[in-house]
């Protein structure tokens, strides 16, 4: 089965979405991420969407759900690289992605995740 690869960088998981995901693949990613957070006691997840030129309500919900599940598992989520036209469209669509922090790129996103590190 096709899967989006999830990479590990220290205590964090990084996902770079580079394909236009069909719905089933998005759900698989959500499940895989949740499972990996638990399995590896990850402190955070960074989702790189810089290659996505469309984010609709299904993908938006996948991102929100992932962040919510991560939070329950004491991990933070940061989304990076949102394209401007995607951001504009999400606002008009009415998708707020509340509870999901964003950053411009992977470097800034990792810095944001690490800020929360001291427990």
Partner 1 sequence: MMNSNDTTGRLAAQSSLRSDEEIVRLRQIVRDAAIAQGFSLIEQTKFVTAASELARNTLQHGGGGDARLEVLTRGGRVGLRLTFVDQGPGIADIERALQDGFTSGNGLGLGLGGSRRLCDEFTIESTQGNGTTVTITIWKVR
**Region near partner 1 per CB under 8 A, out of 18-26, 38-46, 98-106, 110-118:** 18-26
Q: Which is nearer to partner 1, 8 or 22 (CB)?
A: 22
Distances (CA, A) of 84 to 23, 55, 74, 96, 118: 23, 11, 30, 15, 32
55 near partner 1 (CB under 8 A): yes
Distance (Å, whole) CA 7 – CA 15: 6
Could you say which of 95, 101, 102, 112 contacts partner 1 (CB under 8 A)? 95
**Region near partner 1 per CB under 8 A, out of 5-13, 42-50, 82-90, 98-106:** 82-90
Structure tokens, 84: 């401007």
Q: Which is nearer to partner 1, 61 or 114 (CB)?
A: 61
Of 60, 47, 52, 31, which is closest to residue 109 (Cα–Cα)?
A: 47
Residues of this chain that interact with partner 1 (CB under 8 A) are: 20-25, 53-58, 60-61, 83-86, 88-89, 92-95
């Amino acid at each position: 089965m096709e899967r989006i690869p999830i990479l590990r960088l220290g205590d964090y998981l990084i996902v770079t979405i580079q394909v236009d995901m069909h719905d089933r693949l998005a759900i698989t990613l959500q499940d895989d991420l949740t499972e990996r957070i638990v399995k590896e006691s990850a402190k955070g997840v960074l989702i790189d969407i810089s290659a996505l030129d469309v984010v609709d309500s299904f993908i938006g919900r996948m991102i929100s759900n992932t962040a919510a599940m991560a939070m329950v598992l004491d991990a933070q989520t940061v989304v990076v690289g949102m394209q401007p036209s995607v951001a504009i469209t999400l606002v008009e669509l009415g998708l707020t992605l509340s509870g999901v922090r964003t950053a411009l790129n992977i470097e800034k996103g990792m810095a944001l995740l690490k800020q929360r590190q001291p427990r």
